[in-house]
Structure 1
Amino acid sequence: TYVIPGERFPRRAQTSDPATRDVRDFPYTSTRPEDSDLNCIGDLFSDEKNAGRKRAFDIRTVMTSLIDADHQPLERWSGMRDADTVLVWDAHIGGYPVAMLGIESRPIPRHGFVPGDGPEQWTAGTLFPMSAKKAARAINSASGNRPLVVLANLSGFDGSPESLRNLELEYGAEIGRAITNFKGPIIFCVVSRYHGGAFVVFSKALNEKLEVVAVEGSYASVIGGVPAAAVIFAREVDARVKADARMKDLQEQLARAQGAQKGTLLIRLNEVTAMVHSEKVGEVASEFDHIHNVQRAQRVGSIDQVIPPATLRPYLIEALERGIQRELQG
């Protein structure tokens, strides 16, 4: 991070790690039994093994696959309590010193006392109050010194009473302020999903130097498919539930039933209603996600480029070069 007097950025370091390296071949290891079929980073971007980009994964491994193999990263604020869902590294990509911010993409256990009105664990892809504070601090610390690279699988901010009580909204606003005031190149890379309040605070409307890129197969929208189905399209879901053949059949049986049989059918109707409702929410969510993909986000200007996973590291290096050159000329 040292900048020689009279220069704008820390000097580029020498690296033998090829700029064109394909990160898909980088090995992926996990102690979680459900990850036994994930062998390399490419599996995270695979439609066969990660359809819908909904699987949990270790963001550290993805970050390691992108940085220069011959330069060890330095983790900042690793011991910051309750800020586990954000990782901050000082690292090199293509020899360029960068501040790298990753959003943890797997659930993390909480330690100590857990309030009854808060989450039982730190959920994947979510910013909680202290992790939002950590992110804002990282962005501010890099401003005017080195470029910022953000790897995002981000569904937004936690809305539990505990988080709101602990200044979630205020720290979220601090991220927006940090992006607005940031001096230097910012590359925001969507590696999986990008929804909710994150769509607002990491926005090109706040900083014209923000370059947003998404890996093919990712999803980007102000709201995710499941919340959209449950809130915005609730009437559509209810209509599909009522039109379902299983519901109609049970309701016809209930209309003809008498006595104890009617009570049994009522219980059965409640069970089937819950099951069918869950199915229809999934259907509407899937339709929403297929419409609100990264290609649509690119068409409306929220994303600059959609790239194949094989070109992720080369693209980031080129983006850094463009951003640094633009900063030096402007």
Structure 2
Amino acid sequence: AGAQSAVVFDAHLGGYPVTLLGIESQGLPRSGFLPADGPDQWTAGTLFPRSSKKVARAINAASGNRPVVMLANLSGFDGSPESLRELQLEYGAEIGRAVVNFEGPIVFCVVSRYHGGAFVVFSGTLNDDMEVIAVEGSYASVIGGAPAAATVFARDVNTRTDEDPRVAEHEARLEAADDDERARLRAALADARASVRSEKLGEVADEFDSVHSVERALRTGSIDAIIPAARLRPHLIEAVERGIGRTR
């Protein structure tokens, strides 16, 4: 259970046998008993303990046999108490170990997002025969915009919320209201604050993502190339060919 968020195929790409890895781009329902401290579903773009183990085993199985190509829409590893209890950290580290020990070319392609622990265990610095590319418009950073806004920049989000005219207007009404109206206005203020804060979270997340783009990742050396979507398959084939040439 949980391994289905990672997809593994033995396939051919441009005539070359490869192990093709992917991550589910939509949430998958969970069946059976759901622990209270775990996710309600297998979230899209996320590695869970069993899917992490699956990816590590697939990479190890391909080592010395055929190239690995990974199409990554990967926001990172699940950090719920359930996943940590189920050895998420150990299996995540096993992916990094598999990449370090891999014999042969690895092509890692960011098709949407590349964040969190995935940014570490799939780093090109772990293996000299690993090529990291990204499709135009994708994102690559240690932390994504949404979690950054909710955690790292929470104070900024709260400040923007407090300074928003809509919140200030509700606060002024509450301040001037008599006792009979205060309960209703207090509830209205809470609703307005929640709505505005959600909006500000989105703003800060977008600002963060606009800075931490794949172009920035390319400048800092985290990825090797940015390609248009129309060039995805030809470039993957060329990358596999380059990798095979390097490792012969």
Residue 253 of structure 1: how far off its partner (Å): 1.5
| CA deviation profile, 1:222-273 (whole Å, cap 9, x unmatched) | 1111100010111111110111001111111222111111222111111111
Of Structure 1 and Structure 2, the greater helix share is in 2
Matched, 1:118 2:38: yes
Write the distance in 1 (CA, Å) between the matches of 2:240 and 2:191. 55
Is 1:137 paired with 2:92? no
Percentage of identical aligned residues? 65
SS at match of 1:211: strand
Q: Which has the higher strand share?
A: 2
Matched residue, 1:217: 137
Q: Which whole-Å CA distance do the structure 1 matches of 2:247 and 2:191 have between them?
A: 61
CA RMSD of aligned residues (A): 0.9
Please give the alpha-carbon distance, in whole angstroms, between the structure 2 residues aligned to 1:209 and 1:141: 17
Kindly provide the amino acid, as one letter, of the partner of residue 109 in structure 1.
P
1:282 counterpart residue number: 202
Three-state SS of the structure 2 residue aligned to 1:119 is coil
Distance in 1 (alpha carbons) for counterparts of 2:81 and 2:174: 41
Alignment partner, residue 249 of structure 1: 169
TM-score by length of 2: 0.98
Q: Distance in 2 between matches of 1:319 and 1:223?
A: 27
What is the CA deviation profile of residues 28-47 of structure 1, one whole-angstrom value per residue up to 9, with x for unaligned ones? xxxxxxxxxxxxxxxxxxxx
Is 2:23 the counterpart of 1:100? Answer: no
Tell me the residue number matched to 1:199: 119
For 1:82, the aligned partner's letter is G
* Aligned residue number for residue 18 of structure 1: none
Aligned to 2:47: 127
Secondary structure at the residue paired with 1:84? Answer: helix
Equivalent in 82, 91, 109 of residue 162 of structure 1: 82
* 1:52-131 → structure 2 map (5 Å cutoff): 81-131=1-51
SS at match of 1:153: strand
Structure 1 residue 111: Cα displacement: 2.0
Listed as ranges, the gaps of 5+ residues in structure 2 are none
Shift of 1:95: 0.3
Question: Does 1:304 find its partner at 2:224?
Answer: yes
Residue of structure 1 equivalent to 2:151: 231
> What is the aligned partner in structure 2 of residue 259 from structure 1?
179
Distance, in Å, in 2 between the alignment partners of 1:248 and 1:105 is: 40
CA distance in structure 2 between the aligned counterparts of 1:250 and 1:104, rounded to whole angstroms: 43
Cα distance between partner residues in 1 of 2:202 and 2:2 = 32
Partners of 1:148 and 1:102 lie apart in 2 by 11
Q: For 2:7, what is the secondary structure of its paired residue?
A: strand
Question: Could you tell me how far apart the structure 2 residues matched to 1:225 and 1:82 are?
Answer: 25
Is the 2:129–2:246 contact (alpha carbons within 8 Å) kept by the matching residues of 1?
no
CA-to-aligned-CA distance 1:122-156 (integer Å, 9 cap, x gap): 11000000000000000000011111100100000
Extract unaligned runs of 5+ from structure 1.
Answer: 1-80
Distance 1:233 1:303 in 2: 26
What amino acid sits opposite 1:209 in the alignment? D
What SS is found at the alignment partner of 1:223?
Answer: coil
- Given candidates 246, 267, 273, the residue that maps to 2:193 is 273
Deviation per CA, 1:164-218, whole angstroms, max 9, x where unpaired? Answer: 1000000000000000100100000011111111001000121121100001111
Give the residue type in structure 1 aligned to 2:118: A
CA displacement, residues 67-112 of structure 1 (integer Å, 9 cap, x when unaligned): xxxxxxxxxxxxxx43001111111001001111111111111122
- The TM-score with structure 1 as length reference comes to 0.74
CA distance in 2: counterparts of 1:108 and 1:87, whole angstroms: 13
Post-superposition, which runs of at least 4 consecutive aligned residues in structure 1 deviate over 2 A? none
- Distance between the aligned counterparts of 1:295 and 1:241, measured in 2? 30
CA distance in 2, matches of 1:278, 1:320: 43
